[in-house]
Structure 1
Amino acid sequence: MARRAAGRFVGWFRPDRDSSKGTLQDQLYAAIRQAALQGELSAGERLPSSRALAADLGLGRNTVVAAIERLVAEGYLTSRRGAGLFVAADLPAEGVARAPAVGSPARPPILSRRSAAAPGLHAEGESDVSRPFALGAAALDAFPLETWRRLAVQTLRRRPADLLGYGDRRGLPALRRALATYLADSRGVVCSPETIVIVSGAQQALDLIARLLLDPGDAVVVEDPGYVGARDALASAGARLVPIAVDDQGLDPALLAAINPAPKLAMLTPSHQFPLGMTLPVARRLALLAEARARGIWIVEDDYDCEYRYGGPPLQSLQGLDGGERVLYVGTFSKVLFPGLRLGYVVLPAQLVDGFLRLKAAADGFSPGWPQTILAEFIAEGHLVQHIRRMRVLYRRRRMALLAAIQRHAGDLLLPRLSEAGLHVALEFRDGRDDRMAAAAAQAAGLVVAPLSRYAVARRLSGLLLGFAAFPEAELEAAVQRLARALR
């Protein structure tokens, strides 16, 4: 019987040794599956042994056994000890499910218009942070890991049961209280624990804000050049981006006033404009806020690395000047502590909190509780402020080393833009060359540099962004020499 079954099977299956048709194992698996689903092999019908199939089809026995084992595991065949292999009796009727023909092209995925229009992950999150001059890389070796470990152990000892359950959508109350005090003291932010929501990084905050405030087609002002991650979040929500070129003082309020009808939202980095580095002066801050109140424009203030300013105290936040009426304030611990923490926060106008929390619940419910507990203790015991002070000294030294090395080895090629803040420097090519080709040359030399034009929307730029925070002075010196050789 097995021999007759094998002969019948050989009659309608022929292996194709063209590699583009898939492996022989995949072909055999797909052929038996399709035959069973379409009724060419009847429910309960006995199949030939693996030895007989291998001989008649000219296949290796291991190939046949692997295909059969897969079909048995997925329920298309059953194996009875001492009796052999049989087509399963409970397969769907013919036409209910059909296996794709071997070698046929897969059907393209069906995506929503919004997802298909999303630009994709912003480049800052894709670079190799171990190589100079990676953006977003902090000096993780200088992080007080022993202090963090001690607090982690303490929190587990005190209340492990609380840390294992579901958390508050707003975030841990103790962390929100600690943040409210810290933000008021360091940035002049006007907030209470009730208007702070803990999120899984600043990017989630931007994504939820976009979905909260924007309908497809709404106009949103973005800085040009500006942060790609923010543009990704806005475009994914269907926003119509309206770029405004920044000058040496940031975004000009008169250009915002000239946009008619009024945009729904403006996305700004006033403390340290990304990527060029200037700080928005007080006069412009006040004019922007007056324009926002008069025309009903929401402002998102991304204060991504406000802690690191090297030329005097930072200006009061836009949110603090506004009093929390029209400004949504976004912060993150990725730069000030470490990116693997995946915690950020947003300070919201009171009337937006409930809507934001509904979207947060739909996105991921709540942010992990144990890291929040450790972070709350870290802030309350004063470690955050101490760490920032130490890192500000370290980063100022590394920044000066980088600028000095550029002047020595590449001053004829690159002109640094003046900036007294942040963890990167922006440089412009003196000869206006193609900065993407220059970045590729640096990449070939083992460096990670970002072309300035990557962040532009409508204007033409030629330059590079170099991160310095994660790299000792000697490494920066050597890296600049390699960069200069690659650019010449």
Structure 2
Amino acid sequence: MELILDLEPGTAGRTAAVYRALRSAVLDGRIPAGHRLPSTRVLAADLGVSRGTVAGAYERLVAEGFLTARVGAGTFVTAGAPRPSAVARRTPAGPLRPHAGWTLTPEPASGAVPAPRYDFRTGIPDARLFPFDTWRRLVSAELRLGANGPGTYAEPSGHPALRAALARYLGYAPSGSATPPHVVVTNGTPARPRPDRPRAAAPR
């Protein structure tokens, strides 16, 4: 059995080359129907390729109906393998014609793609539910208020209104009173009692 191989670099290219050579030999009649092919080990040694390369070509030809693998007997050319007379060349198909029941949608002008009626993409909220008018009004009002000093830091002691509210709250405590200049708002977390610290017992 003579095979003409055009080996390409890489395992996939070699497998395809062995496949094409065997398929061409079957179609040309150089390997007759019912002929037993050599084992993958023997053919791989003759061609100078790996056994997996030949095995991959055999498996593809078996899947396409050119070869038949028999357990314990070997691999044979299928009796009903297609021949050149039965292998018709594919002619380019003509233009697709619409079905009578189809409704054709005209293509948009200038390449614009019309927006779908329902957008099922994930992570995209429905923009119709967002209050754009209210958002635009609030943003405009905030920009007008901060237009005189943009980019400046706020009061380092804390927001004046918050300091005034804290001063009023401290005024209700019996320990004394405080004024907003005496209150400083800082970052932090409230202290929690240690679990090992004993708590005072409630009076009986």
TM-score, structure 1 as length reference: 0.23
Return the structure number with greater strand share: 1
Return the structure number with greater helix share: 1
Structure having greater relative contact order (Cα 8 Å, sep ≥ 6): 1
Q: Which is higher, the Rg of structure 1 or of structure 2?
A: 2
TM-score, structure 2 as length reference: 0.50
